[in-house]
Amino acid sequence: MTTRRIKIYFDGGCRPNPGKMETAVVTGGAAVVVRDAGIGSSQDAEWLALIAALRLARDLELANFILLGDAAAVVAQANGAVRARGGAAEHLAHFRALAEGGPAPAVRHIKRTQNLAGIALARGR
């Protein structure tokens, strides 16, 4: 019997850029939206959303999950395909520390129109 992989969608943004950040994580039809995640850039917001998605997977003790986001640069950095610099390197270090001791997180890029977390963020605007 094959266990179904749980999809966890993440998205972050800010207005203006840099500015007030917001994040969203969606899984199983439930959305966790944070409208005031501090001040930073859009990339910072995407990283905070990815870290929140991984934290949720860990809190739910999921063994078979995939993290899905539309920020190509953040996904590439999280997967080690592109070097993270500056603030992104700090976020990557936090992400990797959180990933230790559990199953390696699969992080994949999806189209913005497929990102349920992005849709959740847009609903509140």
pLDDT of residue 63: 87
What is the domain partition of the chain in residue ranges? 6-120
What average pLDDT is seen over the chain?
94
What is the DSSP secondary-structure string of the chain?
Answer: -PPPPEEEEEEEEEETTTEEEEEEEEETTEEEEES---EE-HHHHHHHHHHHHHHHHHHTT-SSEEEEES-HHHHHHHTTSS---THHHHHHHHHHHHHTTSPPPEEEE--GGG-HHHHHHHHT-
pLDDT of residue 79: 95
Query: 36-90: per-residue pLDDT in tens?
Result: 999 999 999 999 999 999 999 999 999 899 999 999 999 999 999 999 999 999 9
- Name the CATH topology of 6-120: Nucleotidyltransferase; domain 5 (3.30.420)
pLDDT of residue 125: 57
